[in-house]
Structure 1
Amino acid sequence: RLKTACLSEDHIILAGADADTENEAIWILDTEGNQQMELGNQEYGGEQSLGSITNVQETENGFIGLDGNMRDVFFWKSDGSLLGSAEDSELFGTDYPWISTAARLSDGTVLVGLTEDRADKSATEFIVYRISGF
């Protein structure tokens, strides 16, 4: 089940549940549609276990994946090896947001958009953060 499709200059990036395993996965394809690598696709609890990928951006150094369900941001090298992940609270100081979208700017930074309820529950805000250096 395909849930997310993103484009970079060099790749088509698809994310969803693998038909055989039902694990969340990211597939990196070249512009001709040939699969180059697969990220994630691990059972819950694995190092690359993914919840619900809402966006993937290719950067100069690899890929940034947003996991809206687990509230994690994953970082992979260009060869697909996992560098690590960080929780929303570690990166953004947020408390249980929905990490929903991202866009890569021409200078290489990535804008990440998320929604979060205000502490007093009076509104849900859309917040944008900038990730640079990857």
Structure 2
Amino acid sequence: MRNFEGALQFLKARLHEDEAAARALKPGKSEDLKKLQARVLADVEAKRQLVAWVEDNFGTTLKADADALPVLKKGVVHLIATIPELLRSPVIERLVWAYADHVDYDDAWGRIEYVHEDEPDGDKPRSRTRSTT
């Protein structure tokens, strides 16, 4: 992924905006709005955990304490901690696609289009275009 660090910072900023917007909602007595607010906040938290895994190279904080782990777990922690950016960056790439209409979105991060539910193929990716520059 080109400009991996830029995509990471872009995504963090969008997640902050999503959280702020969800917290600003005043659902009142609307149960549906309360559920939507909770779902958006849960979605933001889940994406933040994925970002942390990618950014921190999941397991690196445990790596220092790996001597205290059983042999098998120590091996798994070391293996996961060595996953290169090349294999981790698609996680960020796909998460930023949700913000492709944002003014700060970089077309080099790619785009994906989805077929609407009422179309024959349902909610499946139709095509993916990537910038070649």
Shorter-chain TM-score category?
under 0.3
TM-score by length of 1: 0.24
Structure with greater proportional strand content: 1
Higher relative contact order (CA 8 A, sep 6+): 2
TM-score by length of 2: 0.24
Structure with greater proportional helix content: 2
